[in-house]
Amino acid sequence: MILHGYWRSGAAYRVRIALNLKGVAYAQHGVDLRTGAQRDPAFLARNPQGLVPALEADGLILTQSPAILEWLEETRPEPALLPRGADERAQVRAMAALIACDVHPLNNLRVLTALRGDFGADQTRIDAWADRWISAGFDALERLVERHGEGFCFGPSPTFADVNLIPQMYSARRFNVDPTRWPRLSAVEAAALALPAFADAHPDRQPDSDGPPQG
| Inter-residue contact 184 to 149 (CB < 8 Å) | yes
Mean pLDDT of 82-103: 98
Instruction: Specify the fold of 2-77.
Output: Glutaredoxin (3.40.30)
The pLDDT tens digits for 163-204 are 999 999 999 999 999 999 999 999 999 999 999 999 999 999
Q: Where are the domains of the chain?
A: 2-77, 86-198
The 3-state DSSP class for residue 31 equals coil
Distance CA 159, CA 153 (A): 8
2-77 and 86-198 agree in CATH topology: no
Q: Would you give the DSSP letter of residue 155?
A: B
Q: Would you give the DSSP letter of residue 60?
A: E
**Residue 137 phi, psi dihedral angles, 5° rounding:** -70, -45
Distance CA 21, CA 195 (A): 9
ω into residue 79 within 30 of 0, thus cis? yes
Q: What's domain 86-198's architecture?
A: Up-down Bundle (1.20)
Q: What is the pLDDT of residue 212?
A: 63
Q: What is the pLDDT of residue 214?
A: 37
Mean pLDDT of 51-78: 96
Distance CA 139, CA 119 (A): 28
CA dist list (Å): 198 to 76, 83, 164, 175: 18, 19, 11, 21
